[in-house]
Every structure is written in C-alpha cells, then in structure tokens.
Amino acid sequence: MTTLFSPIGTADPFTQLGDGPMLHIVRHRQPSRIVLYLSPAMAAYQRKDQRYTTAIGRLSESMGVPLPEVKIIESDYDEVYRFDRYIEEFGFILKELSTPHEPVLVNASSGTAGMAQALVALGSFGRINMELLQVLTPKHGINARHDRENPDEYDFDALWEWDCEVECDSEVRIVPVQTPNFSEQLLKENVIALIGGFEYEAASKIAKQISSIDAKAMQMIDAAAARLNLDGGAPARAFGGTDLCYRANGFLLEYLYVMEVRLAQGHWAEFMRSLSPALTELMKEKLRPYLSERAYERFDDGKPTGRFDAEVISADPRLASTLQSCHYDNRGAFISNDAYSRLIEEYCTDAHVADKIRQLRRAERQSRNSLAHSLRASTRRMIEKECGMSLDSIMKMLFELHGSANPGLYGRINQAIIARL
C-alpha cells in the first residue's frame, strides 16, 4: 500500500495555475493512503469547507480510481517557521507510516519553509524509508502572489473546473529530491574511527550498512581483521602485489606486527603475555646458525615436537652440561624459554643479539608471574616497573632482533583503507 504524507500550504489543493503540490502527487502517484498534516490555519480552512479532502475525492472520481484512505493530523503548534520541532514530530509520524518494503511518499513542496526543511533533514539522515518529492510550479519558477486565490475567499467549484482544463494532458512536475545521506556519512566517520583504533571487525559490521562503501575498501577491512587474527588467506588476496602484502613464510613477523597493534591499543597485559611465544621463535632463529634444532629437539615423522631429545643431548657433553638445569632428561619435557636462553648464552657469538635476548628474558620473567597467576589491574606503569624497561623498548628490541621488520604496518594498512572511503 503506497502512502503519501503531505503538509498542507496555501497552494493546496489548487490555484488558478493548476494542481497544488499535494493534489499533483495524488494525481500522478495515486497513493492508496494519504496523511495530511494541517497547521492551525490550514485546519481552519478544512473545517470551513473540507477543501482538501473534497479535492482528493473529486480527483479520484474523475480519474475512475478508488478513493484513497485519508487521515488528517491537525497541529496546534503556531510557530510554523521553526523546523526543529517538526523534525521530531515528522520523524515519529514517518516512522509509523514507512515500511521496510515500500517507501512513504513525502511532499516537500507544501506547508511552511520550516516544515520543508525538517522533511529534507529527515531524508538526509537516511534512517526512514521515504521518497522525498518536490513539485515544480506550473511556471517552473516562483509563483507570484496573484497566482494564488485568497484562501479566505476560495471558490472551490470554479477552481476545480479550471484545474480540470489546465491539468488535462499536462506534464508531470514531480521531481525526486536528492539529499545527501548524512546517516551514511556518520556511519563512515564511525568506520574511520574504528579503523584508526585497529577495530576491524567492528568497522566491518558498520561498513556493511553503508550502501556506497567502496568494494575494495570493504575487502581490505575484512582482510585486516583476518590478518590481525593471523589468518593469511584474505590478506594474501587483498594486499597482494603491494608493500602491504602478506607473506605466508613470515608468520613470526606477522605476530610481531600484531603485538605492535596491541601495544598501540593499550592492551598492556595482552602485549606482555604475547612476549613469550615471540621470544621463543626469535631465540630459535638466532640459535639456528650455531646449533641445529636436531641437536636438542625431538622430531616425529620429520616434524619438530617442541620437546627435548634426551638421547641426542646426552651424547654431547657441552650440550648436556648447558641444559642440565633445565631437566632435559625428564621424559617428554618441553623446551622452555629458559633452555633457549641458556643455549643462546652458550653458543651464540653475536654479543648484541645475546644482550637483547638477555634483557627480554629478564622482562619476561619479572612480569610473567604477576600477569599469569594473579587477578589485578595491569597498568602500563606497573608492568614497566616490573619489567625494568619500557614496553616501547621491548617492541623495538623485538623488531631489531627479527631484522626484517618495517614497523607501523597496520598504520599503513589503515591509511590505504581510509584513502578509499
């Protein structure tokens, strides 16, 4: 069922030039339900001679179409020039009239300027399913004062006869009003803010509500969300062939970039809990030029198990002595970061690498117990005091140990996405 909402003005229902805006929409769009909004002055005219409802009835009869359902809303508000009040009232009325499947037709050409401004604003918000219509004057310009009858001396029958002659085979003067969608703009601003905070999943949910969203930007948002969870499928497709490309063989580097994001977000405890796995992989990499994993780690079917190979270690006196305090000979014992750090101290000849790992291990040990085994607030200041070094220094040292990092990856991803929004 098509519904028309129309304020009423002095050009309604018709003038000596032809249809007023409300009647012209009824003529050409033939709504099955009409809601007329009357200010106190217009309501007085309706009570006097029923000119608005009578015109709708005459027009329906002359066109041979069913009489639409007509509802009249009489306002008692006299300050008809103030659009702020009408935004609230019209918004409530239009929400009641609109449906998800069919927009409500809205006449923006009748009534006062304040009413028209309110309707255009509501259309711009984009939250109500409505089709905003402007009706051009028969002259396609501004009506002169003498083009309208004095509403207090209204000769309905004479005007009706004249209107039938004027509007016979006349052009359609209805123009859809193209309004900027402020609602989508607000959604877009929220998306940009969420991206700036690296909250890609939340940004994706909001971005999907924006009809004009750039498809590549949408793909990049979803890819960034996946990448932050260390899922490389979508990032490989979205960022391939650029300096933001995802490298499947660079899992450790991707992990470090995620740590950098957690630090930027202020997730201090999560950042420190991420240190241990990162440090494990970095120590393994730095140890590899001096000592093969097969010298101390058990492999099953060619795959590393993360456990000591006690038999191989025992055959090497230097290695056995280095790992003795790590209880490598306990059946099924896992290789701890303590063991890796001892191997670094014993075998790594790069003093700078050994020193950085020594500092990171100290920070890891001193913060791990409180973070892992107690329920408490974890402020940056508390954690840095326990670590004995700043969290920024830890991140910088991790990147330096890796050797191939280009810090700020997700900041560059954000810039690339926002540039397309």
**pLDDT tens sequence across 1-57:** 899 999 999 888 988 778 889 999 999 999 999 999 999 999 999 999 999 999 999
Give which of 103, 132, 129 is closest to 119, Cα–Cα.
132
Does residue 112 share a domain with residue 54? yes
> Mutual orientation of helices 251-265 and 409-418 as an angle, nearest 10°?
80
Does residue 238 share a domain with residue 286? yes
Q: Are strands 297-300 and 303-308 parallel, antiparallel or unpaired?
A: antiparallel
Q: Does 385 fall in a domain? A: yes
Gap between the Cα atoms of 152 and 48, Å rounded = 10
pLDDT of residue 143: 56
- Residue 299 CA, chain-centre distance (Å), reads 47
Q: Does 396 fall in a domain? A: yes
Minimum mean pLDDT range among 147-156, 199-208, 286-295, 359-368: 147-156
Q: Does 420 fall in a domain? A: yes
Does residue 113 share a domain with residue 41? yes
Does residue 248 share a domain with residue 109? no
pLDDT of residue 77: 83
pLDDT of residue 186: 81
- Among 176, 198, 227, give the residue marking a domain's end: 176
Buried b (16+ CB within 10 A) or exposed e, 356-391: bbebbbebbeebbeebeeeeeebeeeebbebbebeb
pLDDT of residue 370: 67
- Among 176, 192, 222, give the residue marking a domain's end: 176
User: Residue 180's pLDDT band (boundaries 50, 70, 90)?
Assistant: low
- The 10s digit of each residue's pLDDT in 328-341 is 888 889 999 999 99
Gap between the Cα atoms of 21 and 110, Å rounded = 6
Does residue 137 share a domain with residue 115? yes
Q: Does 199 fall in a domain? A: yes
CATH of the domain at 128: 3.40.50.11700
Which residue range is the domain that position 197 belongs to? 181-290+348-421
Does residue 192 share a domain with residue 103? no
Gap between the Cα atoms of 86 and 82, Å rounded = 7
211: pLDDT strictly greater than 90? no
Does residue 186 share a domain with residue 166? no
pLDDT of residue 26: 94
Rg of the chain over Cα atoms, rounded to whole angstroms, equals: 37
222: pLDDT strictly greater than 90? yes
Does residue 43 share a domain with residue 140? yes
Q: Does 164 fall in a domain? A: yes
Q: Does 336 fall in a domain? A: no
Token couple for 293: 């994993």
Does residue 195 share a domain with residue 171? no
Greater confidence, 73 or 374? 73
Q: Does 334 fall in a domain? A: no
Does residue 161 share a domain with residue 195? no
- The 10s digit of each residue's pLDDT in 226-249 is 999 999 888 778 888 888 988 877
pLDDT of residue 147: 56
Does residue 211 share a domain with residue 167? no
pLDDT of residue 37: 95
pTM score, whole prediction: 0.68
- The 10s digit of each residue's pLDDT in 344-398 is 999 999 999 999 999 999 999 988 766 765 666 678 998 999 899 999 999 999 9
Q: Does 333 fall in a domain? A: no
Does residue 286 share a domain with residue 392? yes
- Among 176, 196, 220, give the residue marking a domain's end: 176
State which H helix or E strand residue 379 sits in. Answer: none
Task: Specify the number of domains making up the chain.
Answer: 2
